[in-house]
Structure 1
Amino acid sequence: MNVAPFSRGPQHIGARITAAQGKSFVVDTESNYSLDDSATPWLSAALPVAMKVNVPIEFDGTIDEVAAENSNGAQNILAEWYPRHYHRTTFGSRNASSTTGRAPGVGCFFSGGVDSFYSAITQHDRITHLIFVHGYDIRPDDETLGTRALEGARAAASELGKPLIEVRTTLRSAFSDAYRVPWGHVYHGAALAHVATALSPHLGTVIVPSSYPLHELRPWGSHPDLDPTWSTSAVTIEHGELDAGRFDKIARIVDSPTAMNHLRVCWENRDGRYNCERCFKCFRTRLGIMLAGGECATLSSPIDPTMVRRMYIEPARRRRFREALVELDERGFDEPELEKAMRSAIRRSYLLQYFPR
């Protein structure tokens, strides 16, 4: 695999990727801030893909020495987690470099969800910039949802008193989707690292909000062991706080009017809606807000038991659905119709899994 970085201007970088059998395609990343046009931001982007297809990489550009060294750790972790599908590979570049000084900024990825609001609020005094990316949880070609999500992120960043770095990229569709590198379990942390290292002219530290608390950690594309291995001599990548689970995070952010006015948790976006209110993530967030006694402008209340009863809960999410039932009981909420609907949804999901219509 050959990766040839190029620049379309100070705020727009790209790379031409030449893969097996001469297949060639272009990946673009642009921002309202200037970007590092070296080969370094493309290391984390290309490495998981090369590990899956088991080919070496040749970069037509300069790779940061620290990034090159740290990437050994990333390869070790991915190969240990998924030994059947990801194999250590090699890479070369025209030159190596390192940075002695680094930018003073501290960035935090900000999708507008529970994890990012939690980090933005609990580390408010430390964070200097928030980072919004269009092209990861929102398709690059979805202008309607992308514009609405960006408007919400801009408003939230303004209310939090932080400048918003806006990034647009085709990285996920070109690499993760095209090569079937699982976004959640493998690739999204590497994709975030691509953006973080590209922003090295402005940020010396970038925080990736945590997906799971310490006691729930498992192999995942963003992980406290994996995220730091994408760091360079110019940018340290940190995994976010591990002290709070989902419902504890929600309980913390319900006190923030900004979070309750702009929260965006949905990735299914059925019918193009900001939050569809019918998927698992929307339901769990609505339940958490109800348990915390909050009200959210972007998620309606109360929860309709009929809607819950009709939900299909994917096998990987059923344990969390049961945990939500435990939360209802432990917090002393008397919602018999809702509990009955949740149990019915679990039973129905098992039936649909093994006896599909």
Structure 2
Amino acid sequence: MSWFKSLLKLPAGREGARRDESGLDNFPCGTLSTVISPMAVHVEGTDAERITARITTPSGVETRVTTESNYSLDHSATPWLPPLLTAGMRKGWDITFDGPVDSTALRGASGAQKVFLDWYPKRFREVSISAEPGRVATGATGVGCFFSGGVDSFYSAITESDRITHLIFVHGFDIDVDDENLAARASAAARKSAAELGKPLIEVKTTMRSAFGDRLPLDWGYDFHGAALAHVGLALSQHLSTVIIPSSNCREELTPWGSHPDLDPLWSSGTVEFEHHELELHRLGKIRRIGENRTAMNHLRVCWENLDGAFNCGRCAKCVRTRIGLAAAGAQCTTFPEIIDVRAVRRMDLRSRDDGYLRTALAAMQASGISDAELTQAVNQAIRRSYWTPALFFMRSAGSRVGQVIRRSLRR
């Protein structure tokens, strides 16, 4: 019986894999039961608007991560603390910074470790941080808000407009750092939006995600994106004293996630405070609010798959649920295809959280008296398909393994 169970074992996933690509992919994965230390971080200040960290792993592999902006940046080691702490905890590497790190940020990092260990006790381990405590008084009074042009960021930018002095657009997070074409279109839309909202736009380009979130076994959504946002916010300490991070979920939907009300404030320093904005309103409520704003409806960008290079592809789960929400709100948005391709909807690849979002959006649309039987049927088919796909994969994998054993036996 144990022999048969071994045949059904699925192939190792990403955590067991060792890839051959260059840079951080060559970091030795090891096991979380092995403590490797230290990861050495040397901060290089190339010019006022560009900062670089040279990172050397315990095995001697070296890489550089660069962040640049149209605004001057903090050249201390402080902005590098959140992402490198997250990466270090995932790998089990202690961390040594060769430059000063804000003392408030160091205390907050201890709290961030406790949050991660509570969420992911099997994937993360506690690490030590070696750095010279320090603090640089900047006198900045600005209030920044991260602005991707999506539902959450438009909602925060509109409702907190009286407080916000700057919007922050980042190239290298949801848009690949090498995708200059899409980045140019997205940044142009962000500039127009910021101008219409009466706010200056801080533009940032960083290799942070390509170096860490994609190459280490770090999940961008669940592990890393909040720390990457904190890196950018801390780097702007000469201009901002408060940075608003638009929420991904309302209070009832909270789960462990890279940006979270229990985690975001812990990345604060003595000069920059992070705020996780809006827990009371669910996504459909946000859509209804921004649906009243002409700037949002002319520039809304929610798509991260960008199929065929589209600004909003209109075919992925995020686009479809946003379109349904806009229909329920009676809002007209110019950045989506006019007609939803129901055939593409049926073929959507859904994550577990997408099912609930789509069902809620359909219910809201029907409650608003809007009927689209073909779309409703297509969404329900995609949801049913998402239940069967893992089972079919398992059956194919198991069948393949059993078949291999049988064929080997017949050849003997």
The interval holding the TM-score normalised by the smaller chain is over 0.9
Deviations 1:219-273 (A, max 9, x none): 1000011000000000001101112111111100011111011111000011111
CA offsets per residue over residues 176-199 of structure 1, 9 Å max, x none? 212121110010000000000000
Deviations 1:295-339 (A, max 9, x none): 111013343433323333233422222222322333332222222
- Note the 1:10-159 alignment, pairs <5 A: 10-93=48-131, 95-100=132-137, 102-159=139-196
Show the counterpart of 2:29: none
Matched letter for residue 310 of structure 1: R
Q: Structure 2 counterpart of 1:48, which letter?
A: T
Indicate yes or no: 2:350 matched with 1:313.
yes
Q: Which amino acid aligns with 1:162?
A: K
1:268-279 to 2 correspondences below 5 Å: 268-279=305-316
Distance in 2 (alpha carbons) for counterparts of 1:238 and 1:65: 19
CA distances 1:273-308 after superposition (whole Å, capped 9, x unpaired):
111111000001111111111111101334343332
Show the counterpart of 2:322: 285
Q: Which runs of 5+ in 1 are unaligned?
A: none
| Partner SS for 1:261 | helix
Which 4+ residue blocks in structure 1 deviate beyond 4 angstroms?
Answer: none
**How many residues get paired?**
356
SS of the aligned residue for 1:189 comes to: helix
In 2: Cα distance, 1:313 partner to 1:328 partner: 20
- How high is the TM-score relative to the length of structure 1? 0.96
1:171-186 alignment runs, 5 A limit: 171-186=208-223
Q: Which residue of 2 aligns with 1:223?
A: 260
Residues 233-244 of structure 1 mapped to structure 2, 5 A cutoff: 233-244=270-281
Q: CA RMSD in A?
A: 1.4
* Structure number with larger C-alpha Rg: 2
1-side partners of 2:334 and 2:316: how far apart? 17
Conserved? CA contact 2:50–2:68, under 8 Å: yes
Distance 1:160 1:188 in 2: 26
- Long gaps (5+) in structure 2: 1-38, 397-412
Offset of residue 352 of structure 1? 3.4
- The residue type paired with residue 359 of structure 2 is R
The answer to whether 1:201 aligns with 2:238 is: yes
Which amino acid in 2 is paired with 1:121? I
Partner of 1:350: 387
Where 1:334 maps in the other structure, the secondary structure is coil
* TM-superposed deviation, 1:20: 1.9
Q: Is the 8 A contact 1:305 1:337 kept in 2?
A: yes
Please say if residues 325 and 365 of structure 2, whose CA atoms lie closer than 8 Å, have aligned partners that are also in contact.
Answer: no
Query: Could you tell me the TM-score, scaled by structure 2's length?
Result: 0.84
Equivalent pair of 1:102/1:235 in contact (CA under 8 Å): no
Deviation at 1:100, TM superposition (A): 4.9
Whole-angstrom distance in 1 between the partners of 2:179 and 2:374:
37
Instruction: Indicate the residue corresponding to 1:327 in structure 2.
Output: 364
Q: Percent identity?
A: 53
Counterparts of 2:349 and 2:232, CA distance in 1:
34
**1:42 to partner: Cα distance:** 0.6
